[in-house]
C-alpha cells in the first residue's frame, strides 16, 4: 500500500507527496526528484491497444497517472541511484 512506499522513501532520506486523481500532482511535478506510481487496478487495455481484460480499470486514475508520467518525462525525471 502507499504507506509502505512513503515509509521506504522516508527511510532513504526522501520526502513523499501523495496525490490522487482529483489532486494537484501534475502541477507539483517540478518540485520532485523522482516519481513512484504505487500501482492499483489494471490499466485500461485499450490504452495500449489490447482487448479488454478481466480487471476493473479506473479510467480517471489511468489518465491522471499517465499525465504524471508525461510531466515527469518532460522534466527528465528518472531513476536516482546513489
pLDDT at 82: 44
Average per-residue pLDDT in the chain? 79
| Spatial contact of 43 and 69, defined as CB atoms under 8 Å apart | no
* pLDDT, averaged in runs of 10, over the chain (82 residues): 82 85 76 80 76 76 86 78 46
pLDDT at 23: 67
pLDDT at 11: 92
pLDDT at 66: 86
Amino acid at each position: 500500500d502507499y504507506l509502505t512506499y512513503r515509509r521506504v522513501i522516508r527511510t532513504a532520506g526522501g520526502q513523499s507527496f501523495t496525490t490522487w486523481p482529483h489532486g494537484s500532482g501534475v502541477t507539483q511535478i517540478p518540485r520532485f526528484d523522482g516519481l513512484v506510481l504505487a500501482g492499483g487496478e489494471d490499466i485500461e487495455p485499450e490504452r495500449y491497444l489490447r482487448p479488454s481484460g478481466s480487471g476493473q480499470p479506473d479510467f480517471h486514475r489511468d489518465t491522471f497517472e499517465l499525465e504524471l508520467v508525461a510531466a515527469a518525462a518532460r522534466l527528465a525525471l528518472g531513476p536516482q541511484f546513489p
